[in-house]
């Protein structure tokens, strides 16, 4: 490490190795739902997730070594569940490895319900859900790839939907959001402030 010439408070980070464990970043955490070749549901936690532009597209980072990737390549679809902070334990345990026989017993701990327009499962009691058709997968990010999908159906808990008669801060306070603080921590966001956008700013 060396001190950055622009200021004594800046430390240059060695980029010859991955940098992401050196500091914290804020991300959502979701459970991506796919279907295994035998028809069994698979749920995998992901935090490198984002809308893909202003239209109804969604993307997340995965690796071809995971069944999530191969299941989507085969079926052409996946679900997205946004868990609540109270579901942090189950969300974490969804990352448990499969046994040698191929099953994933921890998934029996989840109460699920089926998607409506595709083959897939959601977890009960989450606050936001997407049904996605695979759009494209972009390889080449080291050992990872970016999987994108078009959102063809979306559902939300009525308590989290924005409405004119409810102040945004009150909404977030009554229905906290689950944030993953990479690497390895999480937070429940129940306070917020309006962002001071310029008056003439547009999307």
- Residue 132 to residue 117: CA distance in whole angstroms: 9
Considering the domain boundaries, does residue 19 fall inside one?
no
- Residue 94 to residue 83: CA distance in whole angstroms: 12
- Output the pTM of the full model: 0.88
pLDDT in tens, 162-203: 987 889 999 999 999 999 999 999 999 999 998 888 888 777
Does the pLDDT value for residue 105 go beyond 60? no
Band of the pLDDT at 7, cuts 50, 70, 90? low
Considering the domain boundaries, does residue 3 fall inside one?
no
Band of the pLDDT at 6, cuts 50, 70, 90? low
pLDDT in tens, 61-70: 999 999 999 9
pLDDT recorded at residue 88:
84
> Pairing mode, if any, of strands 144-156 and 177-182?
unpaired
Considering the domain boundaries, does residue 12 fall inside one?
no
* Domain encompassing residue 79: 25-158+166-189
The helix or strand, by DSSP H or E, that contains position 34, with its residue range, turns out to be strand 30-35
For 155, the token pair is 């559902």
Considering the domain boundaries, does residue 17 fall inside one?
no
Considering the domain boundaries, does residue 6 fall inside one?
no
Please give the share of the chain, as a percent, with pLDDT higher than 70.
88
Considering the domain boundaries, does residue 5 fall inside one?
no
68-94 core/surface letters (b: 16 or more CB in 10 A; e: else): bbebbeebebbbbbbbbbebbebbebb
Does the pLDDT value for residue 3 go beyond 60? no
Mean of the pLDDT values across residues 5-10?
74
- Give the C-alpha distances (Å, rounded to integers) separating 199 from 81, 168, 195, 196, 202: 34, 19, 11, 9, 9
pLDDT in tens, 116-165: 999 999 999 999 999 999 999 999 999 999 999 999 999 999 999 998 78
Structurally, the chain folds into a number of domains equal to 1
The helix or strand, by DSSP H or E, that contains position 172, with its residue range, turns out to be helix 168-174
Mean of the pLDDT values across residues 83-93?
81
Considering the domain boundaries, does residue 91 fall inside one?
yes
| 200/115: higher pLDDT | 115
């Amino acid at each position: 490490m060396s001190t950055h010439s622009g200021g004594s408070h800046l430390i240059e980070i060695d980029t010859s190795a991955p940098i992401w464990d050196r500091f914290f970043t804020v991300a959502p955490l979701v459970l991506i739902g796919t279907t295994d070749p035998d028809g069994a549901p698979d749920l995998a936690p992901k935090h490198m997730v984002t809308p893909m532009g202003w239209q109804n597209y969604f993307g997340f980072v995965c690796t071809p070594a995971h069944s999530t990737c191969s299941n989507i390549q085969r079926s052409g679809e996946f679900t997205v569940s946004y868990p609540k902070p109270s579901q942090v334990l189950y969300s974490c345990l969804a990352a448990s490895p499969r046994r040698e026989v191929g099953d994933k017993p921890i998934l029996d701990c989840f109460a699920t319900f089926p998607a409506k327009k595709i083959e897939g499962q959601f977890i009960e009691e989450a606050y936001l859900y997407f049904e996605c058709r695979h759009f494209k997968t972009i390889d080449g990010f080291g050992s990872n790839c970016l999987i994108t999908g078009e959102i063809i159906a979306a559902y939300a808990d009525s308590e989290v939907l924005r409405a004119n008669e409810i102040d945004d801060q009150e909404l977030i306070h009554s229905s906290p959001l689950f944030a993953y603080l990479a690497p390895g921590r999480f937070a429940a966001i129940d306070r917020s402030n309006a962002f001071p956008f310029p008056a003439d700013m547009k999307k």
